[in-house]
């Protein structure tokens, strides 16, 4: 949780808090997940010096379905109803059971015809309702529920010149414990988003199988390796075990970039912003970028924020990459392009 206030041209942190949900907590067990959320939020509100209870929250990326669809060019006011109809056809869901949101990714060519590329997001209403109940039980007043790609984009999109707002293409790779998010933006526009179900958990499971350890012990060993607390022999074994997992992840990232290049007929991006809870693993990023043919960007996506008042929680600048989604949620009222998902239901 992160709270910002505006001070002149920049935003300054007022409060921050962090609590793990527990590595055993899974969205497959909905009740246990929401119970863990309530417990974590209660603890953070008790320990952090937050002002007020107005909040912007985010659904976990894995709780949504994502699909890229192409529609005929149409007036803006007709797009929402067209997306809703397409969602019911393609996802085979009842409009009463799901909430639909979308990003207008821009115009693409399909053969000789101009089409409109749309990123569709769908979430079960029952999951959203339980999410709202969980946060309200913590005495939070919800201003909005957002989605991960919009939160990431607020901190990472960039325009080089006002005359050409679509001139800068950015790739953001957010590796978390349960999965990896790949976001491609052009100027202020979200052009591509995909959730890849490979993250820290899959690394721990591979390590547990190879070393014949419980998953919790394997996770501890991996974290020790990331922080440089293991010996060279253990380092080599862990790196060798995680190699195939990272190769699979790199392959999926390459497919994402290929889709972007073919769809929007642009040059394949060469640099990636590296963020997420697993971003402290230098070996992972070096291997991932090498396999995916990318250079890690040296840019700090949170450089425009002053997080020094909460350094005891967020750490130094080398640890801020894990706070990008939280910062993006705090900046939700700052909206450009198609960063904010539009509603279709």
The residue written with tokens 């790609």 in the block is 149
Mean pLDDT (whole number) for 4-16? 91
Q: Give the model's pLDDT for residue 30.
A: 84
Q: What is the DSSP string of 128-196?
A: HHHHHHHHHTTT-EEEEEE-HHHHHHHHH---SBTTBTT--EEEEEEE-SS-EEEEEEETTEEEEEEEE
- Percentage above 90 pLDDT, the chain: 48
Chain segment 265-317, per-residue pLDDT in tens? 877 788 899 899 888 788 888 888 888 888 888 888 898 899 999 999 998 88
Of the candidates 278, 289, 294, 178, which has an alpha carbon nearest to the alpha carbon of residue 225? 278
The closest of 84, 77, 81 to 98, measured between CA atoms, is 84
Q: Is the per-residue pLDDT at 342 higher than 60? A: no
Q: Give yes or no for a contact between 137 and 37, defined as CB atoms under 8 angstroms apart.
A: no
pLDDT of residue 285: 85
Angle at 272 between CA 179 and CA 299, to 5 degrees: 115
Which 8-state DSSP code applies to residue 117? Answer: E
Looking at residue 337, its pLDDT comes to 47
Pairwise CA distance, residues 175 & 190, whole Å: 18
pLDDT of residue 231: 59
Residue-range domain boundaries for the chain: 2-343
Candidate from 122-136, 158-172, 174-188 with smallest mean pLDDT:
158-172
**Euclidean distance between CA atoms 106 and 189, whole angstroms:** 8
- What is the CATH architecture assignment of 2-343? 2-Layer Sandwich (3.30)
Looking at residue 336, its pLDDT comes to 45
pLDDT tens figures, 201-220: 999 999 999 989 898 898 88
pLDDT recorded at residue 8: 85
pLDDT attached to residue 57: 94
């Amino acid at each position: 949780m992160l709270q910002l206030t505006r001070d002149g041209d920049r935003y300054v942190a007022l409060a921050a808090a962090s609590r793990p949900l527990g590595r055993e907590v899974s969205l497959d067990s909905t009740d246990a997940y929401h119970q863990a959320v309530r417990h974590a939020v209660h603890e953070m509100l008790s320990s952090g010096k937050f002002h007020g209870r107005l909040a912007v929250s985010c659904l976990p990326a894995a709780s949504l379905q994502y699909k890229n669809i192409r529609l005929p060019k149409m007036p803006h006011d007709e797009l929402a109803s067209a997306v809703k109809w397409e969602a019911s056809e393609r996802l085979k869901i009842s409009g009463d059971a799901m909430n639909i949101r979308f990003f207008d990714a821009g115009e693409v060519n399909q053969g000789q015809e101009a089409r409109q590329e749309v990123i569709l997001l769908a979430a079960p209403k029952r999951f959203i309702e339980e999410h709202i109940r969980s946060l309200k039980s913590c005495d939070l007043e919800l201003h909005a529920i957002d989605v991960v790609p919009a939160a990431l984009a607020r901190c990472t999109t960039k325009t080089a010149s006002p005359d050409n707002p679509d001139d800068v293409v950015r790739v953001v790779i957010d590796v978390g414990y349960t999965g990896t998010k790949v976001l491609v933006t052009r100027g202020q526009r979200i052009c591509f988003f995909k959730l890849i179900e490979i993250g820290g958990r899959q690394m721990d499971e591979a390590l547990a199988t190879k070393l014949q350890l419980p998953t919790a012990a394997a996770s501890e060993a991996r974290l020790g390796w990331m922080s440089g607390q293991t010996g060279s022999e253990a380092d080599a074994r862990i790196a060798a075990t995680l190699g195939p997992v990272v190769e699979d992840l790199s392959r999926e990232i390459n497919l994402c970039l290929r889709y972007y290049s073919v769809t929007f007929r642009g040059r394949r991006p060469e640099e990636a912003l590296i963020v997420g809870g697993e971003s402290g693993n230098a070996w992972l990023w070096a291997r991932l970028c090498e396999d995916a043919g990318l250079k890690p960007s040296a840019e700090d996506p949170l450089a425009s924020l002053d997080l020094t008042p909460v350094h005891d929680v967020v750490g130094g600048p080398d640890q801020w990459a894990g706070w990008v989604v939280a910062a993006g949620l705090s900046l939700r009222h700052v909206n450009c392009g198609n960063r904010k998902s539009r509603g279709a239901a």
